Chains A and B, each alone.
Chain A
Amino acid sequence: MNQSTNEPNEPDRWETDFRQWGQRPQPEPRPFFYTRLQARLNESVESATWLPWWLRRPAYAYSALCMLVLLNVSVATTIANTPAADDEPTTVASAFQSDYSVDSTITPYE
């Protein structure tokens, strides 16, 4: 059975307790709140102005970042597509040729 039906004043008591809780003594902001707020506002203005104009606008900053990434990707792709140098033998046949100083143009026809 619901306890509140046995004690009709129960909801009133809770309501009183909750209202007392709402009126409890509370701490206040530290002194010179406005002074600290002004300092914070000035700091946020200064930190925005030292950046170059093209970084202060997020769209430009992201575009610059994308261009940098694309540049790196294109350089990496170019390096990957460049054929490797023939300084070292890369196949078994070429290793044989380099070991026995065999002319590579003759070997396929022998």
Chain B
Amino acid sequence: MNPFGAYYIKNTTRVNETVDETTRLDQLRQGHEPAFRWLVDTYQKRVFRTALAIVSSPEEAEDVAQEVFVEVFRTVGNFRGEASLATWLYRLTTSRALKKERDRKRKKRFAFMTTLFGDDGEASHDPPDFQTPETTLEASEQTRQISQAVQGLAESQKIAFTLHYQEELSYQEIAAVMETSVSAVESLLFRARQTLRKKLIPLRS
């Protein structure tokens, strides 16, 4: 057996993926509709799930996902390809989802203030534990507790934790998405795990 065979196949595959992505990018810049359709079909679930980890409802997560793809459509001409398509999409998703969540919290504070002055505002409530009919039966109590605890993490820790454990990105990939260093990502994950353990240990005992 040729000892270099496996190396050749692995690196040829990597080269082919890079070439494919370059071709896709060129097609996207040219406004090639099938290329845009491919992009949406390939990444919509990842974008949606990542957004859902940050915002409070699937409706908002879908809104974020749509906004991400609209932005890609409008600005792909300016994208120089210094990062991969996936990295760019994750970056757009996390920043838009954070913005939406901050806007929601600001509106909630404003609604609270207006109720103090007697306006009948919308009833404000804490975002509920997200459960759907499809997930209720399957999600264990432990998973639900972790989900609740993750919602309480600081923004950057939440993003790093979600990208690592849910999206299974490497430290390098997460650093590229968050535009920070690998050591900063390690620190964020370490603090996230510590915080989650502190919150979850009393529940488990």
Contact = CB atoms under 8 A, between A and B. Distances in A.
Interface in A25-73: 25-30, 33-34, 36-37, 40-41, 44
B135 interface: yes
B90 interface: no
Contact of A24 (B37, B44, B139, B196): B139
Size bracket of the A interface: 20 to 34
B193 interface: yes
Contacts of A26: 49, 52, 135
Contacts of A40: 66, 70
A22 interface: yes
B70 A19 contact: no
A18 interface: yes
Contact of B193 (A14, A20, A37, A41): A14
A21 interface: yes
Q: Give the one of B49, B150, B197 with max A CB within 10 A.
A: B197
Interface stretch (B21-29, B96-104, B141-149): B141-149
Contact of B142 (A17, A29, A37): A17
B4 interface: no
A27 B142 contact: no
Interface in B137-175: 138-139, 142-143, 146-147, 150, 161, 164-168
Nearest to A3: B201
Q: Give the one of A19, A27, A28 with max B CB within 10 A.
A: A27
B60 interface: no
Given A34-B41, A40-B66, A41-B70, A21 B135 contact: no
B166 to A, nearest CB: 4
A17 B204 CA distance: 12
A28 B46 CA distance: 9
A20 B146 CA distance: 10
A20 B143 contact: yes
Contact of B146 (A17, A28, A29): A17
Contacts of A25: 134-135, 138-139
A29 B70 contact: no
Interface string B45-78: 1001100100000100010011001100100000
23 contacts: A14-B193, A14-B197, A17-B146, A18-B146, A18-B165, A18-B193, A18-B196, A21-B147, A21-B166, A22-B168, A24-B143, A25-B135, A26-B49, A26-B52, A29-B62, A33-B62, A34-B41, A34-B44, A37-B70, A40-B66, A41-B70, A41-B73, A44-B70
